[in-house]
Amino acid sequence: MKTIALSWRYLASRPLAAGLNLLLLALGLAAITFVLLTRAQIDRAFERDLAGIDAVVGAKGSPMQLILAGVFHLDVPPGNIPLKAVQALAQDARVAKLIPLSLGDSVQGFRIVGTTADYLSHYGAQLAQGRAWQAPMEVVLGAQMAQATGLQVGQAFAGAHGLGGGGAAHAAHPYRVAGVLAPCGCVLDRLVLTATESVWQVHEVAHGQGDAHDEAHEDEQREITLALIQYRSPLAAVTFPRFVNSTTQLQAAAPALEITRLLRMVGVGADVLRAFGAVLLLTAALSVFIALWNAVRERRADLALLRMLGASPARLAGLLLCEALWLAVLASVLGLAAGHGLTGLLGFLLQAEQSLPLTGWLWLGVEAWVPVLALGVAVLAALLPALSAYRVEAGQLLDSR
C-alpha cells in the first residue's frame, strides 16, 4: 500500500474533522484568490480605460468625481462646461488630442454619450454590425449594452433624462441604432455613443432653445460635459493642469494621480480582505495542526505497530505529512474554485449595475502561489505531528502490559 493511499484512508476515517479542516483552509485560500482576481481585474480595467488619457477637463468640483464620470462612467459629472472654452483649449499647443464628451441621458441604465469619432478610435473600437453614426440622432451601441438590451441595428429608442435611468423620456427625439461595436473590454462596451450634436438637439429642443437663436449665438451658449485630453509632450503634465485650474473656470484633473489615490483607498479594503484570508489560513493551520496532533495521539499504537512491521520513522512522518498534503491539495482546488466563483458572482452583480467588468473565468499566473501557500500552511501545521510520529517507538507495544 502506498503512503498516499494509506494517508487518504486515515483521513477518510475522520470525515468530520477532515471536512472542517478542509473548509477552513479552502475559505482562507478562496478569500486570497478573490482578492487577487478582483484587484488584478480592477487594475487592468483602469489601465485599459485610462490608456492615452493624460487629463480630463470639466466643471470645477471633485477631481476624482470628474475622472470617475469622464473616464470610467461610474459617477455623475460635476457639471457642464462652455463649448467655447473647450475649443480654446483644443488650440493649446500642449494638447495633441481633445475628445469632447456630453452626458446627461441614458437608456435602460446605460449612458448615452455625445462625442466625436475620435472617442471610438482612441480605444480602437471595431464595429461588429452596421456602421458608425453619420448624422445626429444616430447611435452606436457598446457590445455589453447591445447584449443586455437586445437593441439591434435599425431599431429606434428614446433616451431618458438623467444618468441613472428612470428619468423623463425624450420621446419626441428617438435615437436610431446605426451600428453595434465588437467587445473591446473597455468602457465603450457599456455605453451608447452618438454625435455631440445629438445631445444638444435633444436638450435644446427639450429646453425650448432650438428655434429662437441664430447659429452663432447657439455656439456661444452650447455646453459639453467634459473633455478627455492627450498631451503632445509629457512635460505638459507639469504646466497644463495648473494653467487650466488657475486661469479658467474649468478644472483639469490628472487621471493617473486620482486613480492612484482611488486604488490606495480600494487597497485598504483589499488589504482587509487579504488580512482576513491570512487569519483564516492561520486558523486553518492551527486546526490542521490540532487534528494531526490528535491523530498521532489516537493512532500512536497504529504507528507503533507500523514500526514493528518494519516501517521506518521517516515513513511514519511521511504518512502524517501526506495527510496534510491531501488537505492542501483538496483545499487548493476548492479554494481556487470558490475564489473564482465569488469573483464571477460579484461580476454578475456589478454587470447588472453597469459597473466594473469582473469575470471568474480569468486565470492569473500569480494564482499558482495559492496551492504553494496551501502546501506551506499544511506542511507547517504537520511538522510537529510528523516529528511526533517519527519518534514513535515500536517498543511501546511490548511494554503495554
Partner 1 sequence: MIVTHELRYRYPGGALLTFPDIEVPQGGVLLLRGRSGVGKSTWLALAAGLRSPSAGELAVAGQSLVALTPVQRDAWRARHIGFLPQQLHLSEALTVAGNLGLAYFAAGLPEDRAAIHAALDALGVAELAGRKPAQLSGGQAQRVALARAVLMRPQVILADEPTASLDDEAAQDALALLQATAQQAGATLVVATHDARVRQALPAALVLDLDAQNGALPSSKGRR
Q: What is the CA radius of gyration of the chain?
A: 31
The DSSP H or E segment spanning 111 is strand 110-115
Give CA–CA dist 364/371, Å, rounded.
13
Smallest gap from residue 329 Cβ to partner 1 (A): 20
**Identity of the residue, 368 or 387, whose beta carbon is nearer to partner 1 in the bound complex:** 387
Smallest gap from residue 285 Cβ to partner 1 (A): 23
Give CA–CA dist 344/88, Å, rounded.
45
Smallest gap from residue 350 Cβ to partner 1 (A): 47
Write out the DSSP string of 35-84: HHHHHHHHHHHHHHHHTT--EEEEESS-HHHHHHHHTS--S--S--EEHH
Q: For partner 1, which residue of 39, 122, 299, 340 counts as binding (CB under 8 A)?
A: 299
- Lay out the site mask for partner 1 across 336-375 (x = CB under 8 A, - = otherwise): ----------------------------------------
Task: Name 44's Cβ contacts closer than 8 Å, sequence gap at least 6.
Answer: none
**Identity of the residue, 263 or 394, whose beta carbon is nearer to partner 1 in the bound complex:** 394
Q: Which long-range contacts (CB under 8 A, 24 or more apart) does 325-328 make?
A: 325/7, 325/375, 325/378, 325/379, 326/4, 326/7, 326/8, 326/11, 327/11, 327/18, 327/21, 327/22, 327/25, 327/288, 327/378, 328/25, 328/371, 328/374, 328/375, 328/377, 328/378, 328/379
293 binds partner 1 (CB under 8 A): no
For residues 38 and 343, is the Cβ–Cβ distance under 8 A? yes
322 binds partner 1 (CB under 8 A): no
1 binds partner 1 (CB under 8 A): yes
150 binds partner 1 (CB under 8 A): no
Q: For partner 1, which residue of 266, 278, 308, 383 counts as binding (CB under 8 A)?
A: 308
Q: For partner 1, which residue of 305, 329, 337, 364 counts as binding (CB under 8 A)?
A: 305
Give CA–CA dist 165/48, Å, rounded.
26
Q: For partner 1, which residue of 309, 353, 361, 365 counts as binding (CB under 8 A)?
A: 309
Smallest gap from residue 378 Cβ to partner 1 (A): 20
**CA torsion, ordered 239, 260, 362, 345, to nearest 10 deg:** -130
Separation in Å, CA 257 to CA 11, 50, 264, 375, 387:
53, 11, 11, 39, 53
Burial of 401 (0-12, 13-18, 19+ CB in 10 A): exposed
**CA torsion, ordered 104, 109, 113, 118, to nearest 10 deg:** 160
**Identity of the residue, 173 or 315, whose beta carbon is nearer to partner 1 in the bound complex:** 315
**Identity of the residue, 60 or 315, whose beta carbon is nearer to partner 1 in the bound complex:** 315
> With CB under 8 A, what is the number of residues at the site for partner 1?
29
Cell of 75: 459617477
Contacting range for partner 1; rule: CB under 8 A; set: 153-161, 228-236, 278-286, 393-401: 393-401
Q: For partner 1, which residue of 150, 208, 234, 310 counts as binding (CB under 8 A)?
A: 310
Smallest gap from residue 308 Cβ to partner 1 (A): 5
Give CA–CA dist 314/297, Å, rounded.
17
Q: For partner 1, which residue of 302, 342, 379, 390 counts as binding (CB under 8 A)?
A: 302
315 binds partner 1 (CB under 8 A): yes
401 binds partner 1 (CB under 8 A): yes
Decide: helix, strand or coil at residue 137: coil
Q: For partner 1, which residue of 122, 222, 307, 340 counts as binding (CB under 8 A)?
A: 307
Contacting range for partner 1; rule: CB under 8 A; set: 100-108, 197-205, 225-233, 307-315: 307-315
158 binds partner 1 (CB under 8 A): no
Q: For partner 1, which residue of 139, 140, 304, 338 counts as binding (CB under 8 A)?
A: 304
16 binds partner 1 (CB under 8 A): no
Q: For partner 1, which residue of 9, 213, 242, 261 counts as binding (CB under 8 A)?
A: 9
Q: For partner 1, which residue of 67, 311, 321, 330 counts as binding (CB under 8 A)?
A: 311
**Identity of the residue, 3 or 209, whose beta carbon is nearer to partner 1 in the bound complex:** 3
Q: Rounded to the nearest 5 degrees, what angle is found at the Cα of 98, between the Cα atoms of 96 and 103?
A: 165
Q: Which residues bind partner 1 (CB under 8 A)?
A: 1-3, 6, 9-10, 13-14, 299, 301-302, 304-312, 315, 393-395, 397-401
